[in-house]
Amino acid sequence: MDQLREAESLLPADLGVRQRLTGIREDLAGIGRDYYRKGAVPQYDLIFERAIKPLTLSAEELSVLISERKGDYGLSAGKADEIPEQYRTRVAEYFKALTEREK
């Protein structure tokens, strides 16, 4: 639970993934309370639907967001086929020169 709370704290407050993680943490805390109060052992389906599935979806969403933001900072190509307009001519010339050298 502490690790989930730490992960939440690292994310911006307005990010949907953060709210989802908060909900997952609260759901797990409720399941834990039920276990200690009633001795009700949590069923796999309940844990899957309230924790595993949402955590997996959140991880996938974070992965996409990180990839997009890395592209914003020039750390990755981002959208592979898109070359900014101001560089298209130079990139085309560069690749043309490379292919002519190979001949």
Q: How is the chain split into domains, by residue range?
A: 2-76
Greatest mean pLDDT among 56-60, 79-83, 88-92: 56-60
pLDDT of res. 102: 61
Residue 12's pLDDT band (cuts 50, 70, 90): confident
With a cut of 90, say whether residue 60 has pLDDT above it: yes
Q: What is the 3-state secondary structure (H, E, C) of 1-56?
A: CHHHHHHHHHCCCCCHHHHHHHHHHHHHHHHHHHHHHHCCCCCHHHHHHHHHHHHH
Residue 4 has pLDDT above 90, yes or no: no
